[in-house]
Amino acid sequence: MIAQGLPASPGAACGQIVFHADDAQEWHKDGHKVVLVRIETSPEDLAGMSAAEGILTARGGMTSHAAVVARGMGKCCVSGVGSLNVSYKDKTVEIDGIVYKEGDYISLNGTTGQVYAGEVPTKAAELSGDFKELMDLCDKYTKLQVRTNADTPHDAQVARNFGAKGIGLTRTEHMFFEDKKIIAMREMILADNAAGREKALAKLLPYQKADFKGILEAMDGLPVNIRQLDPPLHEFVPHDLAGQETMAKEMGVSVEDIKRRVDSLAENNPMLGHRGCRLGITFPEITAMQTRAILGAACELKKEGKNPMPEIMVPLIGTLYELKQQKEVILEAAKEVFAEYGIEVEFEIGTMIEIPRAALTADRIATEAQYFSFGTNDLTQMTFGYSRDDIASFLPVYLDKKILKVDPFQVLDQKGVGKLIKYAVEKGREVRPELRCGICGEHGGEPSSVKFCAKIGMNYASCSPFRVPIARLAAAQGALECE
């Protein structure tokens, strides 16, 4: 072992060191297995992270970008290895005086946070023997189903092999970071009128449809819950001059125009800003395009004899009227798609419950929602008033002084956030007794949190693929403790 970091995402990985996301993609294309080594990762590294076997970072905790994305991808990650000295310029990393170069082999254990030099052989995890027997036993007692969070057909398949009963959360935003999609996405955001947005969205539609088709196919016969676009638009636009020049040329406007538009998207508190359904309400054409892509994919699959079960989820709802308005847009787009394909697919429309006000007014929101999916990451942020990105400045002191026993982004806070969730489940079912309730935040794979969800009568928990087995065990334990 050459270093110890945080066990940010379980599993094992072995490959050749690369330092840039672009290199990870290129080496991967050439048939190499690579481990992406970074000081820290950002959304622009997504394609490279996806191409790598594992991710190793010098900075960042259990909820850093690298950790969260890797868990989402079901990809091994070790984060926060302080002894790593990365030089992007020299393409080297020095650990305890020894220098490792690009192309050198390195191995990670994401379950323990250990880092090894050279090639340590790995094998794919599988559900067999005693493990399978235990999981079957769990199924006998559990009432809460386990779904997975998956953004790609591959992740969906991995989770399905681990016994996931569907997808609880497909995020559409990661899909936009690949190749040509990001150009069209940026064009859509930087357009200054609806016509410009429509034009760019028309380019995005086939990409999105292909993405959704792959996922729906991998989960054939099981429900797939797809969330409409959620993050602030600022995250997608180019902040570097080269990227801004590309967009200026693409769109036939000046670099100054692009720069001004990029700057105008900056927010003081983006987590509380123009995101989630607020995007869909101000730009309904985005909601319409995504609906067309989801249901278009479903129609094609149905024609091919498959059984797609799409669920369309509206994020960041805080008021009943937001959901009503988005539902109208979705239903209108659905009608068009079904007319176009000459076929209909059953689908549901639900909402994230991740804003405290949504939980507090759950009885109103349930009148328009077929299901609730509790987004406990945001719900924890807003219920505590903690920014997940900024908590590092005081969390260590809080843990040290025993003000918090655990990081509430890791383990669901039952006294506060949990109270809100329980209230929302009860109030929602008062008006809609069959209301399906699930959880899709990071807590969906944390045992004590899953048990809590089982005990308050949730229908499912959704977690990253490799956490499916532990969630199934916790769900069964929760059911037994209730008897």
Residues that bind its own copies (CB under 8 A): 267-274, 278, 281-282, 316, 318-319, 321-322, 325, 354-357, 360-361, 364, 378, 381-387, 389-390, 393-394, 397-398, 401-404, 413, 415-417, 419-420
Residue appearing with tokens 């994305």: 69
Q: How far is CA 478 from the centre of its chain?
A: 25
Q: Which is nearer to its own copies, 378 or 407 (CB)?
A: 378
Q: Which is nearer to its own copies, 356 or 447 (CB)?
A: 356
Measured between alpha carbons, how far is 289 from 201 in angstroms, rounded to an integer? 7
Q: How far is CA 108 from the centre of its chain?
A: 23
Q: Report the 3 state secondary structure along 263-285.
A: HHCCCCCHHHCCCCHHHHHHCHH
Enter the tokens of residue 176: 């936009």
453 flagged as catalytic:
no
440 flagged as catalytic:
yes
| Cβ contacts of 268 within 8 Å, gap of 6 or more | none
Q: Which is nearer to its own copies, 383 or 449 (CB)?
A: 383
Task: State the angle between helix axes of 179-190 and 241-251 in degrees (0 to 180), rounded to the nearest 10.
Answer: 70
Antiparallel, parallel or unpaired: β 105-109 and 12-18:
antiparallel
> In whole angstroms, how close is the CB of 372 to its own copies at the nearest point?
16
> In whole angstroms, how close is the CB of 420 to its own copies at the nearest point?
6
Q: Which is nearer to its own copies, 132 or 357 (CB)?
A: 357
Active-site entry in 28, 65, 174, 443: 65
Count how many residues are written for the chain. 483
**313: helix, coil or strand?**
strand
Active-site entry in 14, 277, 299, 440: 440
Type and span of the H or E element at 298: helix 284-303
> In whole angstroms, how close is the CB of 325 to its own copies at the nearest point?
6
From residue 146, alpha-carbon distances to 4, 64, 469, 483 in Å are 31, 24, 9, 20
> In whole angstroms, how close is the CB of 284 to its own copies at the nearest point?
10
Q: Which is nearer to its own copies, 29 or 401 (CB)?
A: 401
> In whole angstroms, how close is the CB of 253 to its own copies at the nearest point?
21
Q: Which is nearer to its own copies, 134 or 271 (CB)?
A: 271
> In whole angstroms, how close is the CB of 44 to its own copies at the nearest point?
16
Measured between alpha carbons, how far is 182 from 326 in angstroms, rounded to an integer? 25
Active-site positions? Answer: 65, 440
